[in-house]
Amino acid sequence: MKQNVKQIVEQVIEDVKAKNPLQEEFHQTVEEVLTSLIPVLEKNPNYIKYKILDRLVEPDRQIMFRVPWTDDKGEIHINRGFRVQFNSAIGPYKGGLRFHPSVNLSIIKFLGFEQIFKNSLTGLPIGGGKGGSDFNPKGKSDIEIMRFCQSFMTELYRHIGPDVDVPAGDIGVGGREIGYLYGQYKKIRNSTDQGVLTGKDLTFGGSLARIQATGYGVIYFVEEMLKEAGKDLKDKTIVVSGSGNVAIYTVKKAQELGAKVVAMCDSDGYIFDEEGIDVELIRQIKEVERKRIKEYAMRKPSAKYFEGNKGIWTVKADIVLPCATQNEIDLESAKIIVENGTIAVGEGSNMPCTNEAIKYFLEKGVLLAPAKATNAGGVATSALEMAQNSMRLSWTFEEVDEKLKDIMINIFKKTRDAAKEYGYGTNYLAGANIAGFIKVADAMVAEGIV
């Protein structure tokens, strides 16, 4: 049976590669997740009988559409829109929208696949989905962003709904974009279904602490992981990549707990500030003024700016927290990080480490907090936003933050316990895959072959 299960898993991975050629990011996540599930499948033959793996890797549906829009000079542009509704075994599809020129079907499918397990780990009733566009928001005027969002929603609206599919933000999609998307949805549907999108402004159904949730959650998870190893965040030197939503609030919470963050980046370059990053200044430059991170070094004398962002991983730190994008840390960077004496890596962005980098960290005994558990605080708080919308009430910041913290501590416990139970020790990546998988697989068995 043991050999047989391994062969079955390998066959599913081969089939995914053959059926979805050139979707490298999707292959990467499928290979990483499925391989770690072998001991679970050996223990529960029903998962093989009911073809859970084959069903999981095939999205319920994949929607691709044209998004025409007109710029301020009157020129017409055509972008491609995506929504992949991956799995609804435990609840409505839920997952963000990414607007970035690198977006393609492979990126959306890798994010959607990861989202299935992440959402399951939160313990809340939400399925997995993801969407976005290859639209580049950089340098666009506010009105251009609005026109694009309206056009995007003019197609998307027919596929979503508070009990069907609930999108949110991701790279390039923040509160401003969610506002324009919601406005257009409301106009077309003549409905104030606030629960159709999350990450909304507080004036029309948004939740307090949603902006902070992913970053704060990253730190709550990392704190638990360190505690388990008899360590903490106090006085630790930290490097955080990115300077967007996740990165900013990760830095803020890490600093609150006594850590010193010395480097951050954007897609052009990174800054090193030996005095510790002034996160309010970063927020002002990136969130408010929407400028480049090099501005920081112009305004803060203790900081230096370096072109290119791979160099950020050469900065010596006790803990590194990638919070920008996928595959930021390859094997070469992983080797430098280990050489620098780093004790823990916490994945704030989705799939920030290549499979080779992950293997290397685990071999070298570096604690790895896996993305699908570590950054689940964002979607968990989105589910809390949906709950508040259904009840037509809003909780205080403290209430939401407390619920978020409880959820993150629970996710850590589930992850740790699953890793232990299935012989993975402190391999929390395998633990998160397994704990997320079992709930979804059991629901798929119970719901029959659909």
Where on the chain is the footprint of ligand NDP (CB under 6 A)?
169-172, 214, 242-247, 265-268, 309, 323-325, 348-350, 375, 378
| CA–CA dist 277, 260 (Å, integer) | 8
SS (H, E, C) 137-164: CCCCCHHHHHHHHHHHHHHHHHHCECCC
CB of 355 to ligand NDP, least distance (A): 17
Indicate left, alpha or beta for 87 from its phi (over 0: left) and psi (-120 to 50: alpha): beta
| CA–CA dist 429, 159 (Å, integer) | 32
| CA–CA dist 164, 127 (Å, integer) | 10
Residue among 109, 118, 130, 260 flagged as catalytic: 130
Which of 107/317 has CB closer to ligand NDP?
107
Contact 344, 366 (CB under 8 A): yes
| CA–CA dist 59, 84 (Å, integer) | 7
Q: Is 94 a catalytic residue?
A: no
Which of 47/428 has CB closer to ligand NDP?
428
CB of 87 to ligand NDP, least distance (A): 17
Active site residue ranges: 130
